[in-house]
Amino acid sequence: MNTIKLITVLILTVFSSNLLAYGSSSSSKKACNKPKFTQFTPPHLAVVAAQSEFSFQTSASTNPDSIEVSVKNQPVEITIDKVNNAYSVTGKLPASLKGTFARVQIEAKGTNNCKGSDGWLLNIEE
Protein backbone atom coordinates (compact mmCIF):
# COMPACT_ATOMS: atom_id res chain seq x y z
CA MET A 1 0.00 0.00 0.00
CA ASN A 2 2.80 2.42 0.89
CA THR A 3 4.57 1.56 -2.35
CA ILE A 4 1.49 2.49 -4.40
CA LYS A 5 1.18 5.84 -2.60
CA LEU A 6 4.86 6.56 -3.13
CA ILE A 7 4.66 5.76 -6.85
CA THR A 8 1.52 7.92 -7.21
CA VAL A 9 3.21 10.89 -5.51
CA LEU A 10 6.30 10.51 -7.74
CA ILE A 11 4.21 10.38 -10.92
CA LEU A 12 2.18 13.44 -9.92
CA THR A 13 5.36 15.32 -9.02
CA VAL A 14 6.95 14.58 -12.40
CA PHE A 15 3.84 15.66 -14.34
CA SER A 16 3.34 18.84 -12.35
CA SER A 17 6.98 19.93 -12.74
CA ASN A 18 6.76 19.33 -16.51
CA LEU A 19 3.66 21.49 -16.75
CA LEU A 20 5.31 24.32 -14.82
CA ALA A 21 8.27 24.28 -17.19
CA TYR A 22 6.08 25.65 -19.99
CA GLY A 23 5.28 28.84 -18.07
CA SER A 24 2.09 30.79 -18.17
CA SER A 25 0.31 31.97 -21.27
CA SER A 26 -0.36 35.42 -19.95
CA SER A 27 -2.11 37.66 -22.43
CA SER A 28 -0.82 40.77 -20.67
CA LYS A 29 2.54 40.47 -22.45
CA LYS A 30 2.76 42.40 -25.71
CA ALA A 31 4.28 40.70 -28.70
CA CYS A 32 7.35 42.37 -30.11
CA ASN A 33 6.44 43.86 -33.50
CA LYS A 34 9.76 44.49 -35.25
CA PRO A 35 9.90 46.77 -38.28
CA LYS A 36 10.30 45.01 -41.61
CA PHE A 37 12.44 46.26 -44.50
CA THR A 38 11.75 45.45 -48.17
CA GLN A 39 12.31 46.57 -51.77
CA PHE A 40 16.05 47.21 -51.53
CA THR A 41 17.22 49.21 -54.56
CA PRO A 42 19.72 48.62 -56.09
CA PRO A 43 19.46 44.91 -55.31
CA HIS A 44 21.86 42.84 -53.19
CA LEU A 45 25.37 42.53 -54.73
CA ALA A 46 24.62 45.01 -57.54
CA VAL A 47 27.55 46.91 -59.05
CA VAL A 48 26.95 50.65 -58.54
CA ALA A 49 28.78 53.91 -59.14
CA ALA A 50 30.18 55.93 -56.27
CA GLN A 51 27.63 58.26 -54.65
CA SER A 52 24.73 56.23 -56.09
CA GLU A 53 21.29 56.62 -54.62
CA PHE A 54 19.71 53.72 -52.76
CA SER A 55 16.24 53.15 -51.38
CA PHE A 56 14.13 50.73 -49.40
CA GLN A 57 10.73 50.54 -47.75
CA THR A 58 9.82 49.96 -44.12
CA SER A 59 6.63 48.59 -42.67
CA ALA A 60 3.93 50.78 -41.16
CA SER A 61 4.94 49.53 -37.70
CA THR A 62 8.24 51.44 -38.00
CA ASN A 63 8.80 54.60 -35.98
CA PRO A 64 10.17 56.88 -38.74
CA ASP A 65 12.14 59.02 -36.26
CA SER A 66 14.19 55.97 -35.23
CA ILE A 67 15.43 54.94 -38.70
CA GLU A 68 19.23 55.06 -38.94
CA VAL A 69 21.26 54.09 -41.99
CA SER A 70 25.01 53.62 -42.24
CA VAL A 71 27.27 52.40 -45.02
CA LYS A 72 30.55 50.83 -43.93
CA ASN A 73 30.02 52.35 -40.47
CA GLN A 74 29.57 55.85 -41.93
CA PRO A 75 26.22 57.49 -41.09
CA VAL A 76 24.15 58.44 -44.13
CA GLU A 77 21.60 61.24 -44.44
CA ILE A 78 18.23 59.87 -45.47
CA THR A 79 14.89 61.17 -46.70
CA ILE A 80 11.75 59.48 -45.39
CA ASP A 81 8.41 59.72 -47.21
CA LYS A 82 5.10 58.18 -46.11
CA VAL A 83 3.76 55.92 -48.86
CA ASN A 84 0.36 54.32 -48.20
CA ASN A 85 0.86 52.27 -45.00
CA ALA A 86 4.66 52.24 -45.21
CA TYR A 87 7.68 54.51 -45.39
CA SER A 88 9.98 54.97 -48.37
CA VAL A 89 13.58 55.76 -47.40
CA THR A 90 16.22 57.12 -49.80
CA GLY A 91 19.86 58.09 -49.37
CA LYS A 92 23.19 58.36 -51.20
CA LEU A 93 26.34 56.31 -50.77
CA PRO A 94 29.22 58.26 -49.17
CA ALA A 95 31.64 59.86 -51.65
CA SER A 96 34.64 58.30 -49.89
CA LEU A 97 33.60 54.76 -50.84
CA LYS A 98 35.05 53.65 -54.19
CA GLY A 99 36.28 50.29 -55.43
CA THR A 100 34.92 48.34 -52.47
CA PHE A 101 32.05 46.27 -51.22
CA ALA A 102 29.87 48.07 -48.68
CA ARG A 103 26.90 47.04 -46.61
CA VAL A 104 23.93 49.38 -46.31
CA GLN A 105 23.00 48.79 -42.65
CA ILE A 106 19.50 49.74 -41.45
CA GLU A 107 18.41 49.96 -37.83
CA ALA A 108 15.03 51.13 -36.57
CA LYS A 109 12.51 50.67 -33.79
CA GLY A 110 8.91 49.62 -34.14
CA THR A 111 6.05 51.60 -32.69
CA ASN A 112 6.31 49.44 -29.55
CA ASN A 113 10.11 50.04 -29.25
CA CYS A 114 11.12 46.63 -30.61
CA LYS A 115 14.40 46.95 -32.50
CA GLY A 116 14.80 45.67 -36.02
CA SER A 117 17.76 45.65 -38.38
CA ASP A 118 18.57 44.57 -41.91
CA GLY A 119 20.73 45.55 -44.83
CA TRP A 120 22.29 44.49 -48.08
CA LEU A 121 25.67 44.45 -49.78
CA LEU A 122 26.65 46.60 -52.79
CA ASN A 123 29.75 46.53 -54.99
CA ILE A 124 30.88 50.16 -55.46
CA GLU A 125 32.94 50.85 -58.61
CA GLU A 126 36.06 53.02 -58.70
> Any idea what the Cα angle at residue 109 is, between residues 108 and 112, rounded to 5°?
165
List pLDDT tens digits, range 76-89: 999 999 999 899 99
Full set of structural domains in the chain with CATH: 37-124 (2.60.40.10)
Task: Order the strands of the 86-92 sheet from edge to edge.
Answer: 37-41, 53-58, 86-92, 78-83
pTM value is: 0.74
Is residue 17 scored above 90 in pLDDT? no
Q: Alpha-carbon Rg of the chain, whole angstroms?
A: 25
